[in-house]
A = this chain, B = another copy of it.
Amino acid sequence: MIFELVILGNSSATPTLHRSPSAQYLKMLDHHMLIDCGEGTQVQMQRYKIRKSKIKHIFISHVHADHMLGLPGLIFSMNLMQRTEPLHIYGPDALFKILDLFIELTDNHMRFEIIKHVTQTEVKEVIFEDDELKVSSFPLYHRVPTTGFLFEEKERLRKLNMEACEKYEVPVSSYADIKKGKDYVYNGTLIPNTTLTSEPGSPISYAYCSDTRFDERVAKNIKGVNLLYHEATFLHDKLARAIETKHTTAKEAGIIAGLAETQKLLIGHFSSRYDVVDELLVETRAEFAESYVAEEGSKFTLC
């Protein structure tokens, strides 16, 4: 599976017996990543059978407690488990100040390197890139510096037609070029690439937007994303509270999804005042039909 997202927590503010604060596990291509890491995330990872040792990248949106208090404990556990592989952490400057002090004062002899990638909230920026995947941060509009994250698969390589490749005796060493679109010469005859390959599927993308006040600029930065997670802390009757605390209502999350022209919207980060969240979903769906609740433990896939 090219894309697998597991919701580890979807609550705002306070963890409870039945709801954990923000954290998501994202496997995209060969990358195992965490997005946000509220208190108790390492236990949630055990619950949903996600191995800590696999995680190489952790993206933290902002330094509010419910988005990052689980990070020091997770790092210390990785250290206790004898991790030696570097860990890439992406987040605001304040996050690293807290982590550094923790590590300094708790006498932890770190066995692995933490590679810090400081995010900024001025402009959209590529913060990770390899041959297959690009990750960007972009500004969100909350009470402290906050970014969203956009995960984009790059243009896919063409799919080899193995039957044709065998017929024209293409050596394995040429596969890479042919996947990129090159033709092949067989006994003096040009075999066009379209004979040797077929169209690949479209690349996929995912955006994480939490926490933020409703803002159309968010939609612009993630236009056409396949799957969008957007916070929906309150029902729209609590709009004044959403404005005051710089959050988004369920209705507004649906509007953003429409503006962003996404295919599917996941809503989360629900205020603890809502025991059940059906009503929030109804409100969002009135604006954007393809909306779903990011239930804790649920898994979403794309291919």
Contact = CB atoms under 8 A, between A and B. Distances in A.
Interface of A: 13-17, 39-40, 42-43, 46-47, 63-66, 69-70, 72-73, 76-77, 80, 94, 97-98, 101-102, 105-108, 143-144
A15 to B, nearest CB: 5
Contact of A69 (B15, B64, B69, B107): B69
Q: How many copies does the complex hold?
A: 2
B106 A15 contact: no
Contacts of A63: 105-106
A43 B15 contact: yes
Q: Which of A47, A77, A108 has the most CB of B within 10 A?
A: A77
A39 B102 CA distance: 14
A39 B70 contact: yes
B72 A65 contact: yes
Nearest to A81: B14
Contact of A43 (B17, B76, B102, B105): B17
Nearest to A92: B105
Contacts of A16: 43, 46
A102 B107 CA distance: 18
Contacts of A107: 64, 143-144
Given A97-B101, A105-B94, A42 B69 contact: no
Given A73-B69, A105-B94, A144-B106, A47 B14 contact: no
10 contacts: A15-B43, A15-B73, A16-B43, A17-B43, A39-B69, A63-B106, A66-B73, A69-B69, A94-B106, A98-B101
A13 B76 CA distance: 8
Contacts of A42: 14-15, 39
Contact of A73 (B47, B65, B101, B102): B65
B106 A65 contact: yes
Contact of A17 (B47, B72, B77, B98): B47
Contacts of A106: 63-65, 94, 144
A64 to B, nearest CB: 6
B80 A13 contact: yes
A78 B17 CA distance: 16
10 A-B pairs closest in CB distance: A94-B105, A65-B76, A39-B73, A14-B77, A107-B144, A69-B73, A40-B40, A17-B46, A63-B106, A15-B43
A280 B52 CA distance: 29
B94 A98 contact: no
A77 B13 contact: yes
A144 to B, nearest CB: 5
A265 to B, nearest CB: 27
Contacts of A14: 42, 76-77, 80
Contacts of A15: 40, 42-43, 73
